[in-house]
């Protein structure tokens, strides 16, 4: 994708202080957006605030933030971009990726219409603000700050008829004119129409997908701040996303006698009241009843299994009904009394919308993602390793010496933080190889 550039306006050296440094006014924009996020109408002023926030991001491309806003309703991106992304809910049966691409396609289409001549400085300012390609085949690596990008823009051939100005003031002025006078009002009007009738979103999705091909890093597809690429959950998946999940297991001999699970969740839909807890025994995870207790932020409710012989189903009921985007923290434990129940691994099945990528703070404590901790008694495995998205047979195989999956047992404990996103319908865990008993 590329957008042509040339000077379509007369040069000016007028200082526009109030639009020069958007980073300094970001806090005011955030306050304004938070107060307006519940509004159903996307006024030009609200759209402009959202686009300003999107343009001043330093750590990723716009498309990544659009997707993050759709995928995580509790995120800062969702707070700031809610007026934009909410309208994509009218797309029938669309995935978060499709919704983000459709919104991106709409933005690109409107940017392409800016300018009274074939090529204009106002369009150029928008190209720099949203990190687009100024020319076909351009390998320009945009600066992280908006002012830095405008500095790059003024040096490009054709942006000015004569010598480039010594400051980026003309670029900031062109950006303000393009955003306030054209882009925000046009997007506001189009979003209101698409919010009422989502049938036209598919055309914009095609634009977004086609014009994003080949330069994913520039638009944010590969941005680390977005969970783009998360696989779709199953139809019966629990409607929550785990921001943080810490599983602490106490082993007695070779049995997992106590398993405490801390969960920080975000509701993915309105009306979330419970979380179904599953505690499975045996190295083959055969269904068997294990008592589950509520420790914090929930209470236990049981009901008969769906089929004869199935264990009781355990639901952890929350103190309040969660709406989409609401966060909640709760803790439960599972108790195993059978000390002869040998465990070959500690496993987490992702039966919901996924677990965030892992982040560990400077103090060594996890702040997001999945963390497994296992404490052994006097029987310590001769080898431990972590696994992700493997079959039962694959996880049973010990990795070779030097493999990054091998874990060291220190002071009778082993721990692993899963730094990658944990996908729905997959399994993650720590496996053991126990020492052979001498008869």
Task: Summarize pLDDT for 267-325 with one digit per residue, the tens.
Answer: 988 999 999 987 654 444 444 456 889 999 999 998 877 777 666 788 999 999 999 88
Quickly count: other Cβ atoms within 10 Å of residue 22's Cβ: 20
Taking CB atoms within 8 Å and a gap of at least 24, the contacts of 152-161 are 152/128, 153/5, 153/124, 153/125, 153/127, 153/128, 156/5, 156/124, 158/5, 158/6, 158/7, 158/119, 159/5, 159/6, 159/7, 159/121, 159/124, 160/7, 160/11, 160/121, 161/7, 161/11
CATH code that applies to domain 240-433: 2.60.40
pLDDT in tens, 92-111: 777 888 899 899 989 988 88
Residue 24: pLDDT band by 50, 70, 90 thresholds?
very low
CA distance linking residue 52 with residue 125, whole number of Å = 12
Enumerate the CATH 2.60.40 domain ranges in the chain, comma separated. 240-433
Query: Could you identify the residue written with the tokens 């207790």?
Result: 293
Q: Which residue has the higher pLDDT, 211 or 122?
A: 122
Q: What is the pTM of this model?
A: 0.51
Beta bridge partners of 301: 315
Residue 159: pLDDT band by 50, 70, 90 thresholds?
low
| Residue 181 DSSP symbol | I
**Residue 149 contacts residue 195 (beta carbons within 8 Å):** no
Identify the weakest region by mean pLDDT among 62-66, 338-342, 355-359, 392-396. 338-342
CA distance linking residue 439 with residue 434, whole number of Å = 15
Question: Which H or E run contains 344?
Answer: none
Question: Which H or E run contains 369?
Answer: strand 366-375
Any idea what the Cα angle at residue 366 is, between residues 361 and 372, rounded to 5°? 150
Mean pLDDT throughout 167-184? 91
Instruction: Give pLDDT, residue 68.
Output: 86
Identify the weakest region by mean pLDDT among 101-110, 132-141, 395-404, 411-420. 132-141
Q: Which residue has the higher pLDDT, 372 or 165?
A: 372
CA distance linking residue 399 with residue 384, whole number of Å = 9
Across 122-190, where does the E strand assignment appear? none
């Amino acid at each position: 994708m590329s957008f042509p550039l040339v000077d379509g306006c007369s040069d000016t050296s007028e200082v526009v202080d109030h639009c020069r440094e958007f980073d300094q006014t970001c806090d005011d924009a955030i306050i304004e957006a938070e107060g307006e996020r519940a509004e159903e109408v996307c006024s030009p002023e609200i759209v402009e605030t959202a686009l300003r926030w999107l343009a001043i991001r330093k750590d990723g491309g716009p498309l990544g933030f659009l997707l993050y806003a759709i995928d995580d309703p509790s995120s800062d991106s969702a707070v700031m971009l809610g007026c934009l992304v909410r309208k994509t809910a009218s797309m029938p049966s669309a995935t978060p990726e499709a919704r983000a691409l459709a919104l991106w396609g709409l933005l690109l289409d409107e940017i392409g219409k800016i300018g009274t001549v074939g090529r204009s400085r106002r369009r150029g300012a928008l190209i720099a603000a949203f990190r687009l390609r100024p020319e076909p085949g351009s390998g320009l690596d945009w600066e992280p700050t908006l002012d830095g990008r405008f500095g790059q823009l003024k040096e490009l051939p054709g942006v000015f008829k004569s010598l480039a100005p010594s400051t980026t003031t003309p670029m900031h002025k062109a950006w303000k004119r393009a955003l306030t006078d054209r882009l925000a009002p046009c997007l506001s009007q189009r979003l209101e129409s698409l919010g009422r009738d989502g049938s036209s979103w598919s055309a914009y999705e095609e634009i977004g997908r086609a014009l994003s091909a080949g330069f994913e890093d520039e638009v944010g597809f590969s941005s680390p701040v977005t969970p783009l690429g998360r696989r779709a959950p199953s139809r019966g998946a629990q409607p929550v996303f785990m921001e943080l999940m810490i599983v602490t297991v106490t082993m007695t001999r070779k049995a997992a006698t106590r398993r405490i699970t801390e969960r920080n969740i975000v509701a993915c839909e309105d009306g979330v009241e419970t979380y179904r807890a599953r505690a499975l025994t045996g190295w083959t995870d055969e269904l068997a009843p294990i008592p589950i207790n509520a420790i914090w932020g929930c209470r236990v409710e049981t009901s008969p299994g769906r089929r004869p012989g199935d264990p009781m189903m355990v639901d952890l009921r929350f103190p309040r009904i969660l709406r989409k985007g609401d966060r909640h923290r709760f803790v439960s434990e599972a108790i195993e009394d059978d000390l002869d129940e040998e465990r070959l691994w500690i496993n987490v099945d992702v039966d919901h919308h996924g677990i965030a990528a892992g982040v560990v703070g400077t103090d060594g404590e996890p702040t997001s993602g999945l963390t497994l901790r296992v404490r052994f008694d006097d029987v310590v495995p001769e080898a431990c390793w972590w696994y992700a998205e493997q079959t039962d047979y694959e996880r049973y195989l010990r990795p070779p010496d030097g493999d990054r999956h091998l874990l060291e047992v220190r002071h009778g404990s082993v721990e692993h933080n899963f730094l990658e996103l944990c996908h729905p319908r997959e399994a993650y865990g720590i496996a053991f190889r126990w020492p052979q008993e001498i008869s």
